[in-house]
């Protein structure tokens, strides 16, 4: 691994394969209302937002990340999914807003994720300044990649590195979920679902033959 660029290409390809196999799984599962970080638990779920109405970030609940934290989120997101070929970077398609909304949501799992994210960003900023004299968002590509490679290493339970390893796994998953939930991300992934068809011609014959299903499929 002599230069950052090959790592980025391999990582993006691996992420696309992973998301193609399990797209949307991270969004499943019920959550119950708790309350914003640092507040007493709320009772009940309240009223669902109108799904046909457009919302801006912060309309549904207050956002907790500061401007400096959002800069770090954008920079780290773009190390994980940089602009490449015809695909834009993660931050350019709204992943920063997605992560801010996620960390700010008043549900139990989100409240816990918010603590992990803010603690991880604090570590990242402190380590960037200690090692390189600047915050992560102002570092060069090689310096950013070096810190990410360290955070990505698995850590034994109870070790000093466990918290930052957990942060990076969570953050990486959120970047992928946010990015590949957008129309741009779906196009990059090659996802063609949710498109109305005038008629369905059946599966491609060459695919049926390749899978050995010719006896099971009838047109």
**pLDDT 10s per residue in the chain (219 long)?**
444 443 444 556 655 555 555 544 444 333 333 344 445 555 665 677 787 888 888 888 899 999 999 999 999 999 999 999 889 999 999 999 999 999 999 889 999 999 999 999 999 999 999 999 999 999 999 999 999 999 999 888 878 789 999 999 999 999 999 999 999 998 888 887 777 878 877 888 888 888 888 777 665
> Cα-flanking dihedrals φ and ψ of residue 198, to 5°?
-65, -35
Using the 8-state DSSP alphabet, how is residue 138 labeled? G
For the four alpha carbons of 187, 15, 164 and 76, in that order, the dihedral sign comes to negative
> Domain-by-domain residue ranges, the chain?
4-210
Of 168, 143, 144, the C-alpha closest to 154 is 168
Q: How many CB atoms lie within 10 A of CB 36?
A: 16
Tokens of 157: 């339970």
Tokens of 121: 């960003």
Instruction: With both helix axes pointing from N to C terminus, report the angle between 95-104 and 108-132 in degrees, rounded to the nearest 10.
Output: 120
């Amino acid at each position: 691994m002599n230069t950052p660029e090959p790592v980025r290409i391999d990582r993006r390809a691996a992420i696309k394969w992973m998301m193609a196999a399990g797209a949307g799984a991270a969004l499943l599962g019920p959550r119950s209302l708790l309350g914003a970080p640092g507040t007493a638990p709320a009772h009940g779920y309240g009223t669902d937002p109108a799904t046909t109405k457009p919302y801006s970030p912060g309309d549904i609940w207050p956002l907790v990340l500061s401007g400096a934290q959002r800069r770090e989120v954008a920079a780290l997101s773009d190390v994980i999914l940089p602009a490449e070929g015809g695909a834009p970077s993660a931050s350019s398609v709204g992943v920063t807003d997605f992560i801010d909304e996620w960390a700010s949501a008043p549900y139990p799992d989100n409240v816990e994720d918010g603590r992990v994210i803010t603690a991880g960003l604090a570590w990242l900023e402190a380590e960037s300044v200690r090692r390189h004299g600047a915050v992560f968002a102002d570092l060069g590509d090689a310096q950013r990649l070096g810190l990410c490679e360290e955070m990505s290493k698995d850590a034994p339970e109870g070790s000093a590195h466990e918290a930052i390893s957990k942060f990076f796994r969570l953050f990486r998953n959120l970047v992928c979920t946010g990015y590949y939930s957008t129309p741009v991300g779906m196009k990059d992934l090659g996802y063609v679902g949710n498109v109305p068809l005038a008629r369905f011609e059946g599966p491609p014959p060459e695919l049926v033959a390749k899978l050995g299903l010719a006896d099971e499929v009838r047109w």
